[in-house]
Amino acid sequence: MPIEQTSADCFRAHIRAAFATRADEHGQGAQTGPTPVGASSLRMLWEATELSAHDFADEVARFWKLSRLSLPELMALPAATSQFSVRFLQEACVLPARTADGRHLLVVADPSDEAAVRAAAIVFGAPPRLAIASFEDIATALSEHLGRQTAAVQPAAPTDDDDVESLRDLASGAPVVRAVTELMERAVELRASDIHIEPFRNSLVVRMRVDGLLRPVPDRIGALPQALVSRIKILAGLNIAERRLPQDGAARLRVGRTEIDIRVATMPTQHGESAVIRLLPRDRGVLEIGKLGLSVADETKIRRMLDLPHGMVVVTGPTGSGKTTTLATMLHRLNEPSRKILTIEDPVEYEIPGINQSQVKPAIGLTFASALRAFVRQDPDVIMVGEVRDPETAHIAVHAALTGHLVLTTLHTETAAAAFARLLDLGVESFLLRSTLRAVIAQRLVRVLCERCKVRQTLDQEDLAAEPRYGLLGFAAGDVVHEPGGCERCQGTGYRGRLGVFEVLEMSDAVRQAVGPHTDAATIEDAGRREGMTLMVEDAVAKCRAGITAAAEVLRVTTVR
């Protein structure tokens, strides 16, 4: 027998032993039917294994002695989804149907979820027959069957575009509410950070940003564009009658078992209103500096900066580069009963107990600058300003750092050294920068290779000739890199999650001497390099060599200079 086959058999034997252990813990054997071990227990077990979704479903069917259905068989079943709520079907990952002889059938991925089976029996009026399919196949079949169901009951659009009440009624109807709920659930399932809803002349395009890249939603939404956007505006407390001006709003929703905050921004376009929904899960885990992806040297620098009693630390990068997460992690590190910490943000994305957090409201005059002026009268130890956008905010932040406060803030610049030029451009005098600025942290986010399917590759001369990017990043023949593969766990992309790449420019004596009224970024960067600063691209290449990310990702987010 081949070694690979022997390993696979041993692995499957281990999985079957795990099934048996779960069944024994509840006093039931495999032959006695469902075991109440929790609705997500088998999904968690599958994600912890290296089996594909189909192989795992085969093992489940074999252990529980139930029939195994493929995706074509699921699609051919006469579904009975209309009797169940969409949320229940998607959370429990079950497909109710009827057999050819009219009997009730419940297709499950986790037969140990006794609560789901019992709920289906109540709706059916009798215990259903069970069958097994993979988590992915059931999700695909549900999407198809529910899409047909929604299309069948889709109401007509209001005949008058100015009929706000008709639009409000349509936006509150079951099909539109269901479509928005399914959209949110799909985004949470994919770990999306944003949902983009874009109307065009003949279609509605919905895309989700997953791990930093937009991904189209292939399923039919089953709702009219104006009704869909109106429903989102109602959730966010916006004026659905105003379609000529951009609007911003927020809401707190419960999607499945997850509580999330959303930020909604609408924009009038040529073919209707577009909307961008930003999803902010409330439970993001513990904020730790060690989990940001900093190198040992850079982490040591940042910890040293945060131990200083006063000064200014700036985090820079474009929108979506993880600046807010880095700032929140720093605040979590500084959050002690002996310190008073005040923040002014737009919006408040991380709620941290023990920190006084405020959100800007320009409509009533609460801006970054006005909040900062009030902060200095509150006797704080640490001040966090979401962003320095104008000369007034920059001057107040610098003077707060000069008068004994530790100030954390962000800028939009490409490199760490460019932050000096930007602050000088905002009117901050060079001698104040030399006195107050302690460090600048520039960062980007690279996608992390999926541990389950990444492919190890030893480079040779042919690879270097075929892919010039390797030579551009300093790789040579014989070096080992990893490339994305693609599996069910990562949705076929080869990547799962993101990690930061950084360059930390500390205000050393050499950098301080280089700062002048007309100093450019290149001069400051050269001074930082002489003091041992690691460029962002170098940090990214080190992560590439460590098998964390791929060369293509390094070139996508960084600039070789």
Cβ burial 469-497 (10 Å sphere, 16+ → b, else e):
ebeebebeeebebbebbbbbbbbebbbbe
The greatest distance separating any two alpha carbons of the chain, rounded to the nearest whole angstrom, comes to 86
548: left (phi > 0), else alpha (psi -120 to 50), else beta?
Answer: alpha
CATH number at residue 233: 3.30.450.90
Q: Are residues 45 and 91 in the same domain?
A: yes
Total number of domains constituting the chain: 3
Host domain of residue 256: 173-281
CATH number at residue 107: 3.30.300.160
Q: Tell me, yes or no, whether 88 and 228 share the same domain.
A: no
Residues 316 and 441 placed together within one structural domain of the fold = yes
Task: Answer whether residue 551 is part of any domain.
Answer: no
Listed in sequence order, the residues at least 6 apart from 514 whose beta carbon sits closer than 8 Å to its beta carbon are: 523, 524, 526, 527
Domain termination residue (choose one: 262, 281, 300): 281
Domain assignment present for 100: yes
Whether residue 429 sits in one domain with residue 327: yes
Residue 69 placed within a domain: yes
Q: Are 56 and 44 in contact (CB under 8 A)?
A: no
Strand 382-385, strand 406-411: pairing: parallel
Query: Same structural domain for residues 91 and 142?
Result: yes
One-letter amino acid at 401 equals: A
> 347 and 216: one domain?
no
* Among 414, 483, 477, CA closest to 453: 483
Instruction: Answer yes or no: do 277 and 294 share one domain.
Output: no
The answer to the question of residue 343 being in a domain is yes
Q: Is 205 buried (19+), middle (13-18) or exposed (0-12) by CB count in 10 A?
A: middle
- Looking at the fold, whether 251 and 311 belong to one and the same domain comes out as no
Does one domain contain both 271 and 304? no
Same domain for 234 and 307, yes or no, is: no
Burial class (CB in 10 A: 0-12, 13-18, 19+), 87: middle
Query: Of 260, 281, 302, which residue constitutes the final position of a domain?
Result: 281
Q: For residue 109, is it left (φ>0), alpha (ψ between -120 and 50) or beta? A: alpha
Each residue's pLDDT expressed in tens, for the chain with a length of 561 residues: 333 343 445 545 656 666 665 555 444 433 333 333 333 467 777 767 767 778 888 888 888 899 999 888 888 888 888 888 877 887 888 999 988 888 899 999 888 888 888 888 888 888 999 999 988 788 878 877 776 554 444 444 444 444 555 555 555 566 778 888 888 888 888 888 899 999 887 778 899 998 888 988 876 666 677 778 888 888 888 888 888 889 888 888 888 777 888 889 999 988 888 999 998 876 665 578 888 889 999 999 999 999 998 999 999 999 888 898 899 999 999 999 999 999 998 878 888 889 999 988 887 888 888 998 899 888 899 999 989 989 999 999 999 999 889 999 999 999 999 999 999 999 999 999 999 999 999 999 999 999 888 999 888 888 888 888 788 888 888 888 898 988 888 888 899 889 999 999 999 989 999 998 888 889 999 999 998 899 999 999 999 999 999 988 888 888 876
Judge whether 158 lies within some domain.
no
The verdict on 304 and 429 lying in the same domain is: yes
Could you tell me if 249 and 334 lie in one domain? no
CATH of residue 388's domain is 3.40.50.300
Last residue of a domain, one of 281, 306, 334: 281
Is 251 in a helix, a strand, or coil? strand
